[in-house]
A and B are shown apart, each in its own frame.
Chain A
Amino acid sequence: MLDYIISKYNFWIYVVLMMIGLYAMIGKKNLIKKLIGMNIFQSAMILFYVSIGVKAGATVPILSGHGHGHVHEVIEVAKYLNPLPHVLMLTAIVVSIATTGVALATLILIYRRYNTLEEDEILKIRKDTGV
């Protein structure tokens, strides 16, 4: 059992991180905590994709000493990390920044209107005022 966990420990770590984020999103009442949970979830996904691109003994996917686009020797694929997950996660990081920014702005508006960020209190205020 322990060998089984250790052989793929990186995926176990991402699963645990994702569970923390998912629990914060579902179980917590504070909206800021929900947002932080979403960010933890996104970080787990990003780490997962980056770890897919890892090759043992390889280096970052940047060619050294080829400034002008003329390559004479053959490029060994196994010597460079897989660049595609890195590119996709660059995009995902940008999107996560955008969603976090818009969510924080929305939370500021919610706080201005209800003077609280607790979900149950907001729902109670809405029920009492009949909105």
Chain B
Amino acid sequence: MKLVALIAVFMTGALLIYGVEDMPRWGDPNSPASSHVSPKYIQEAIEKTATPNMVSAVLADYRGYDTLGETSVIYTAAIACILMLRKKRKGEGE
């Protein structure tokens, strides 16, 4: 069992190491992640949202619905924890 787990883990690791070859160098300003859409956000965030902090501008303005859904995820998790951990009243459930 442990051996199977080790083999699976090392195979996954080898695949990922193989993929590392195509990744950009550390701190490369022209890496694909930093050269397509993110310059637009950096340049236009202050004009469009009047927020100096770009992270919160993207989080709360551009991706507002995403954050709303995230809040509902937290709410669902809280409700699930409460339902699982509350003390049962007499004559209810198990």
Interface residues of A (CB under 8 A from B): 7-12, 15-16, 18-19, 22-23, 26-27, 51-58, 61-64, 66-69, 71, 74-75, 77-78, 80, 82-87, 90-91, 94-95, 97-99, 101-102, 105-106, 108-109
Given contacts A15-B17, A91-B66, A94-B73, contact A84 B5 (CB under 8 A): no
User: Size band of the B side of the interface?
Assistant: 35 or more
Chain A residues whose CB sits within 8 angstroms of the CB of B50 once the complex forms: 68-69
- Is B42 within 8 A of A23, CB to CB? no
Chain A residues whose CB sits within 8 angstroms of the CB of B55 once the complex forms: 61-62, 83, 86-87, 90
- Is A98 within 8 A of B73, CB to CB? yes
- Is A75 within 8 A of B52, CB to CB? no
Residue from A16, A51, A87, A106 whose CB has the most chain B CB atoms within 10 Å: A87
- Is B77 within 8 A of A10, CB to CB? no
- Is B29 within 8 A of A78, CB to CB? yes
19 A–B contacts, CB within 8 A, in A order:
A19-B12, A27-B5, A63-B52, A64-B52, A71-B46, A77-B38, A78-B29, A80-B42, A80-B54, A83-B45, A83-B57, A83-B58, A86-B55, A87-B58, A90-B55, A97-B74, A97-B77, A102-B80, A106-B84
Main secondary structure of the interface of A (DSSP, over half): helix
- Is A10 within 8 A of B26, CB to CB? yes
- Is B59 within 8 A of A12, CB to CB? no
- Is B42 within 8 A of A55, CB to CB? no
With A and B bound together, what is the CA distance between A9 and B25 in angstroms?
9
Residue from A9, A12, A27, A71 whose CB has the most chain B CB atoms within 10 Å: A27
Chain B residues whose CB sits within 8 angstroms of the CB of A106 once the complex forms: 84
Binary flags per residue of B66-86, CB closer than 8 Å to A gives 1, else 0: 110010011011101100110
